[in-house]
């Protein structure tokens, strides 16, 4: 199974699972977004600096079109600024547009990739995952520490370290068979990479960038049942278990 990569365009590679992920996200203002728990944020979308829901929905729609139609970051910038200018809103600069485009589209593609890799038959054939960075001078040190590391697909490390792991992150995950792991002499890890805090001597597990220590492909919405009567809670749980 090939890795998900980004080269400025997704033309010729329309990933239905990625499109589905984009379409299911909830569009929220920043204040609404910040009030959510992490698992709900993973299924939501917001752009800091814009509060009008019509603007936020257009951002989301244009990003979904990019995945669905194979559009480039430049096309996204031009179409968004045309919309913003016509509506009397502040334009978005190219660097920020690229950050929004790369982060959101990579999230969608990696989420789709995750869904493909966790199919039962795929897991049976390819039960190990290897973390890959772009392997250049722009890779962040924490991400570089994960490069090449192999874990079982069901290892909890992927709840934290599944990419993207920061804004403009280009990291990916590659599924591998047991035979590939053995042939390439790869060691199957059981812990994330670590560093030593020399001021205290403490050994610290490395983590992704702030706000990215979650797996958006895996997080699912869990409704708050606190104020729901016990009989209705039991009905909900039985139906959920039956559909699992």
Q: Tens of pLDDT along the chain (244 residues)? A: 444 444 444 444 446 788 888 888 778 777 777 776 666 666 677 788 888 888 989 999 999 998 888 889 999 999 999 999 999 999 999 999 999 999 888 888 888 899 899 999 999 999 999 999 999 999 999 999 999 999 999 999 999 999 999 999 999 999 999 999 999 999 999 999 999 888 888 999 999 998 888 887 775 444 444 555 566 556 545 655 554 4
Q: Do 206 and 192 touch, CB atoms closer than 8 A?
A: yes
Domain boundary among 111, 146, 174: 111
Is 62 contained in some domain? yes
Cα distance between residue 1 and residue 117, in whole Å: 8
Which residue segment(s) compose the domain that 187 sits in? 118-205
pLDDT at 23: 82
Same domain, 47 and 96: yes
Same domain, 201 and 138: yes
Same domain, 35 and 122: no
Same domain, 27 and 97: yes
CA atoms within a 13 Å half-sphere pointing along the CA-CB vector of 198: 0
pTM (2 decimals)?
A: 0.73
Same domain, 84 and 29: yes
> Quick one: CA dihedral 35, 42, 218, 193, positive or negative?
negative
Same domain, 28 and 101: yes
Same domain, 102 and 123: no
pLDDT at 4: 45
Residue with tokens 């009905």: 235
Is 215 contained in some domain? no
Same domain, 58 and 85: yes
Is 218 contained in some domain? no
Domain boundary among 57, 81, 111: 111
Same domain, 89 and 125: no
What single DSSP character describes residue 140? -
Residues 31-36: contacts with CB under 8 Å, at least 24 apart: none
pLDDT at 11: 44
Is 232 contained in some domain? no
Is 63 contained in some domain? yes
Same domain, 183 and 99: no
Cα distance between residue 118 and residue 175, in whole Å: 10
Which residues are within 8 A (CB) of 81 and not within 5 positions of it... i.e. 6 or more apart?
91, 92, 97
Residues 8-13: contacts with CB under 8 Å, at least 24 apart: 8/72, 8/73, 9/70, 9/71, 9/72, 10/66, 10/67, 10/70, 10/71, 10/105, 10/109, 11/70, 11/71, 11/72, 12/70, 13/70
Alpha-carbon distances of 84 from 23, 35, 59, 159, rounded to whole Å: 22, 27, 10, 36
Cα distance between residue 233 and residue 210, in whole Å: 35
Which contiguous run of DSSP H or E holds residue 144? Answer: helix 141-146
Domain count within the chain:
2
Is 230 contained in some domain? no
Q: Do 134 and 81 touch, CB atoms closer than 8 A?
A: no
Same domain, 127 and 196: yes
Domain boundary among 53, 81, 111: 111
Same domain, 105 and 150: no
Cα distance between residue 54 and residue 185, in whole Å: 52
């Amino acid at each position: 199974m090939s890795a998900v990569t980004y080269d400025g365009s997704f033309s010729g590679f329309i990933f239905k699972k990625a499109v589905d992920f984009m379409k299911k996200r909830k569009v929220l203002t920043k204040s609404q977004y910040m009030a959510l728990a992490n698992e709900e944020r993973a299924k939501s979308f917001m752009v800091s600096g814009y509060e009008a829901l019509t603007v936020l929905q257009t951002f989301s729609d244009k990003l979904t079109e990019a995945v669905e139609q194979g559009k480039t970051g430049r096309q996204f910038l031009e179409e968004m600024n045309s919309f913003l200018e016509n509506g009397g809103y502040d334009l978005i600069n190219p660097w920020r547009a690229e950050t929004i485009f790369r982060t959101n589209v990579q999230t969608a593609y990696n989420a789709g990739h995750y869904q493909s890799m966790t199919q039962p038959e795929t897991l049976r054939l390819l039960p190990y995952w290897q973390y890959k960075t772009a392997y250049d001078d722009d890779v962040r040190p924490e991400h570089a520490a994960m490069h090449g590391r192999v874990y079982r697909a069901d290892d909890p490390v992927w709840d934290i370290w599944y990419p993207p792991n920061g804004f403009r992150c280009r990291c990916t995950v590659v599924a591998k068979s047991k035979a590939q792991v053995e042939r390439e002499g790869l060691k199957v890890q059981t812990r994330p990479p670590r560093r030593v805090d020399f001021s205290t001597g403490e050994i610290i597990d490395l983590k992704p960038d702030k706000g990215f220590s979650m797996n958006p492909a895996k997080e699912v919405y869990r409704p708050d049942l606190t104020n729901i009567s016990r009989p209705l809670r039991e009905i909900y749980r039985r139906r959920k278990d039956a559909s699992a």
